Amino acid sequence: MCEKQDKPEDIKSLKEYPEYKDRVDYIEDRQNKTAILRLHNVTEQDERAYCFKLTTKTDAQKWIGQIGIQLNVTALQIKAPQLVLEKEAVNLTCETTCHLTDRFIWYKNGQALNIQNKTLHLQSERSDSGSYICAVRGHEHLPSPAVNITVMYPPKSVSVSISPSAEVVEGDSVTLSCSSDANPPALNFSWFKEKQTSAFGSGQTFSISSVNSNHSGCYYCEAQNKYGSRRSASVSVTVKERSSSLITVRITAAVVLTSVILMVFTWLLIKRKRETPSEEQNHRGPQHNKTLESPADAYMTLELKSRCSEYDTLDVSSSAVAVCHVDV
């Protein structure tokens, strides 16, 4: 490189510079007495003067092209605003510092466009947002750096959704959600109820707990970003009174359950009264398990001296009859 030489002997080969490593080829054609420098992956930083140095085998026989060859590097650049408003006319221009043919080609998100002019005209629709590059036909491998175009627009398609449904039962809760399509996304949301002049809430969602008949009506939201605002269509919320049949069912269930409990309790009482004597004795304890003595046994335990004469006569007669009966 000529600008780095102070003395001829100070000039170094490009291959000795780190920034040119693996990007330089020397081609020598001795038959035609020519030498070629081939430089790969050229960038704007390579724009400078390059000198040729000839060294022979004889000492002090060196020649340097003092003037050198000036290399001018040009790069395609797209001139365009990055942020545009919807419906705003905008031009993308493929520029270069050298004189080139008008045969350009444009790409959007990697897809070729049917445009061959130096300037690309856009009407800034939402679909125009994307990445653009340009190139010269025949040199598509050397495109310009990509430029991102973002189309900004106020909120659109604003809508309200209701959860769990548009018809709720008194005492339940309901949540209203507001959605919109905007760039940048809408950050401010306001909630309104028809026939009311001011907003009653804010935020992308709004919840009402323990609703009553006063909450019935039509609701809508308004979404806003820095480029404008838009309101949604109204949605109706109907609050139904809690059904009396549900209360009746609950009372009936309580009565049935109470009846079942009483029946079980009565059955247990009846069963207990019908227990067998042996079961009753088991419940009373061992002191009640003694059997009653027969009257005869109790009488025989008396002392003989307490017997009367009539009993002795009866006893002897009984014995005689018994003996007589045996002899027969």
Reported pTM: 0.55
Other C-beta atoms closer than 10 Å to the C-beta of 155 total: 25
Nearest alpha-carbon partner for 176 in 237, 242, 238: 237
Sorted by where each begins, the domain ranges of the chain are 2-71, 77-145, 154-240
For residue 302, what pLDDT is reported? 43
pLDDT in tens, 129-148: 999 999 988 888 888 989 99
pLDDT at 327 over 80: no
Average pLDDT, stretch 236-243?
83
How far, in Å, CA of 41 to CA of 22, rounded? 10
Average pLDDT, stretch 30-34?
80
pLDDT in tens, 83-134: 899 999 999 999 887 776 668 899 999 999 988 888 999 999 999 999 999 9
How far, in Å, CA of 74 to CA of 134, rounded? 14
pLDDT in tens, 169-190: 888 889 999 999 999 999 999 9
Q: Is the peptide bond before 184 cis (omega within 30 degrees of 0)?
A: yes
For 154-240, give the CATH class.
mainly beta
For residue 10, what pLDDT is reported? 64
Cβ atoms of residues 131 and 109 within 8 Å: yes
- Going from the C-alpha of 122 to that of each of 90, 137, 300, 321, the distances in angstroms are 5, 21, 138, 149
Q: Measured in Å, how far apart are the chain's first and last C-alpha atoms?
A: 168
pLDDT at 267 over 90: no
Cβ atoms of residues 11 and 51 within 8 Å: yes
Nearest alpha-carbon partner for 132 in 102, 110, 100: 110
For residue 300, what pLDDT is reported? 44
Given pLDDT bands bounded at 50, 70 and 90, which one contains residue 254? confident
How far, in Å, CA of 55 to CA of 58, rounded? 8
Tell me which architecture the domain covering 77-145 has in CATH.
Sandwich (2.60)
Q: Return all residues near 160 (Cβ < 8 A) that are at least 6 apart.
A: 176, 177, 178, 219, 220, 221, 232, 233, 234, 235
For residue 115, what pLDDT is reported? 87
Cβ atoms of residues 217 and 224 within 8 Å: no
For residue 101, what pLDDT is reported? 63
Nearest alpha-carbon partner for 224 in 126, 155, 161, 158: 155
Identify the DSSP state of 146. Answer: P
Core vs surface per residue 3-41: b (16+ CB within 10 A) or e: eebeeeeebeebeeeeeeeebeeeeeeeeeeeeeeeeee
Given pLDDT bands bounded at 50, 70 and 90, which one contains residue 3? low
77-145 and 154-240 have identical folds = yes
